[in-house]
Amino acid sequence: MRMSEAGGFVAGAAPVSVEQPGSLAELVALVRGSRETLVPVGGGTVLDLGYAPAGPFRLVDVRNALGGAVEHQPDDLTATVPAGMTVEAANAVLRAQGQELKLDPPLASRATIGGTLAAAMAGPQRGRYGAPRDQVLGLMFVRADGEVVRAGGRVVKNVAGYDLSRLLCGSFGSLGIIAAATLRTWPVRETVDVEWQVGDIATGLDLAARLTAAGAWPEVLDIVDDGRGIWLAARLSPAALPAAERVLGGREARPWPPGRFEQLRDGGFREEDVLSVRVTAPWSLLGRAAAALQRARPGLLVVRPLGGMVRAAARRQEGVASRELRGIVEEVRRLVRPAGGFAVVERMPDRYRADVDPWGEPPDGFDLLRAAKAAFDPEGRFSRGRFIGGI
């Protein structure tokens, strides 16, 4: 996170203060006593995303308040994890027992569990294992009035009551502060990492469709254009490799180059990245969305067909001027919006913000989103102005 005098910037805006409550009780007291908007933050990996908060705000680093140990139940394939812990730290504990979380957000060594869920940041394993929300069995969270409440439970199947964890996941810190989560854990499986040169993205999409139609269910299946070629990168079980080779027949294959997984996961959020655009759309629109994003001259383009995602990332000296970027993003939005897709500018230089709307127009049914904000945070205490439509 970039630092101002007071602390980290949020979408280009400086907070009036950075708070570091040391316990859940201190966090609750802060929530109860604060008049300014509070912007909860974990590792700060996605603070550039979204609008700047409306009005003066305090940045609340929740990592000390929401610490503690992982409670792992390996036989149940579940773990309860404090929200302030990083994804990598949690996984280090679980891997000692041969299991792991299927959360792989950008910069997993910094990204916290709470931040990953709140910002709905998925990674290369999204296609097979679903979004972060799909990993959540239960949540504890701090309500806007400071009350600490629970939703869901600790078992893998549960339909008791409304699933509020769904509402919190992806709410971008604007409905409540996630304090702890019970998550699914997964056995670590033996895999092989292999990639095939595909020539262009359309061919990559076609091969991905044929590979999965043939019954392969890869842990990772991304099409990546890294400026040195276009590859279909797969992480497969060894038993699936022969079937994959039959489908991909005759193409040049190679093992992943070093750092491939991190590139697929972190692209757009690496130190040198200045621009990142993420598109979510049904499979059939991914090729056209990718073609439009190519015009933004990204140094890295990742298409994740099973996750319905395209991400374009540019470093300094790459990318396009703000007006041009706006035109491209608006074109993509017109393409994917009717299908319920969206294009989010996850990262951009601050000077672009006047021209480029990071979220785009609110979706149909925005009145329900506003009603949700009003129901869960009537005074606008959490991250006011940050999310879609300035919620």
Partner 1 sequence: MTTRRELLAALRRAVGDGAVVWRPEDLAAYEFDGTVERSVPHAVVLPSTAEEVQAAVRACRELGVPVTPRGAGTGLSGGAVPLRRGVVISTARMRRILEIDPNDRVAVVEPGVANLELSRQAARYGLFYPPDPSSQAACTIGGNVAENAGGPHCLALGVTQNFVLGIEVVTAAGDIRWLGGRAPDPFGFDLRGAFIGSEGTLGIATKVAVRLLPVPPAVVTLLAAFPTVGQACEAVSSIIARGIIPSAMEMMDRLCIEAVEAGFRVGYPEGAGAVLLVELDGLEGEVQADAARVRAECLERGASEVRVAANEEERALLWKGRKGAIPALGRLAPNYYIVDGVVPRSRLAAVMERVAAISARSGLRIANVFHAGDGNLHPLILFDEREPGAGERVLATAAEIMRVCVEEGGTLSGEHGIGAEKREFMPWLFGEEDLATMARLREVFGADSGLFNPCKVFPGGTGCGEMGSHAAAVRAAGPDAYV
Q: Which of residues 37-76 bind partner 1 (CB under 8 A)?
A: 73-76
CB of 17 to partner 1, least distance (A): 28
Q: Which of 55, 56, 98, 199 binds partner 1 (CB under 8 A)?
A: 98
Stretch that binds partner 1, among 4-12, 146-154, 227-235, 346-354 (CB under 8 A): 146-154
CB of 176 to partner 1, least distance (A): 9
166 binds partner 1 (CB under 8 A): yes
Question: Rule CB under 8 A: is residue 351 a binding residue for partner 1?
Answer: no
Helix (H) or strand (E) holding 343, with range, is strand 342-347
Query: Is residue 313 within 8 Å of residue 298, measured between CB atoms?
Result: yes
CB of 379 to partner 1, least distance (A): 14
Number of chain positions touching partner 1 (CB under 8 A): 82
Type of residue found at 111: A
Six-digit token string for 168: 């919190």
Our CA dihedral for 288, 337, 279, 360, rounded to 10 degrees, sits at 130
Dist CA 172 CA 147 (whole Å): 19
Q: Which of residues 3-22 bind partner 1 (CB under 8 A)?
A: none
Task: Kindly state the tokens that stand for 353.
Answer: 């913000």
* Dihedral of alpha carbons 378, 116, 361, 167, sign: negative
Distances (CA, A) of 365 to 146, 175, 336, 371: 29, 18, 17, 10
Binding part of the chain for partner 1, among 8-16, 186-194, 316-324, 347-355 by CB under 8 A, reads 186-194
**Residue 211 to residue 205: CA distance in whole angstroms:** 10
Map the footprint of partner 1 across residues 115-144, applying CB under 8 A.
120, 130-131, 133-134, 143
3-state secondary structure 364-381: CCHHHHHHHHHHHCCCCC
- In the complex with partner 1, which residue's Cβ is closer, 12 or 74? 74
Q: Does 29 bind partner 1 (CB under 8 A)?
A: no
Minimum distance of partner 1 from residue 122's CB (angstroms) = 8
Nearest residue (CB) to partner 1, 47 versus 164: 164
In terms of CB distance, is 14 or 247 closer to partner 1? 247
Count CB-CB contacts under 10 A for residue 257.
13
DSSP state of 79: E
Touching partner 1, residues 202-241 (CB under 8 A):
209, 212-217, 237, 239-240
- Which residues, 268 to 327, sit near partner 1 by CB under 8 A? 280-284, 307-309
